Amino acid sequence: MSLPTNWPVTIPANAKAVVWMRSDSVSGGKDWIGIATDREFIAHWGKTGHVNQSRVKEKNGFLGSALSNLMAAEAGKSRKGYWVVARMTRDAPAPSLNDPPPPPSKPSAIAKAVEAWQKEALATEGEWF
CATH number, domain with residue 95: 2.20.140.10
Query: Is residue 77 assigned to a domain?
Result: yes
Q: Which residue has the higher pLDDT, 122 or 64?
A: 64
Q: Which residue has the higher pLDDT, 31 or 97?
A: 31
Distance of CA 52 to the CA centre of its chain: 14
Strands 15-23 and 40-47: what pairing? unpaired
Give the Cα-Cα-Cα angle 64, 67, 70 (nearest 5 degrees). Answer: 100
pTM to 2 decimals? Answer: 0.65
Query: Is residue 28 assigned to a domain?
Result: yes
Question: What is the rounded CA–CA span in Å between residue 85 and residue 97?
Answer: 9
Residue 40 pLDDT > 70: yes
Closest CA to 82 of 55, 117, 50, 48: 48
Query: Is residue 64 assigned to a domain?
Result: yes
Residue 84 pLDDT > 70: yes
Neighbouring C-alpha atoms within 13 Å toward the C-beta of 107 = 8
Per-residue pLDDT, averaged over 28-32, amounts to 92
Query: Is residue 2 assigned to a domain?
Result: no
Query: Is residue 128 assigned to a domain?
Result: no
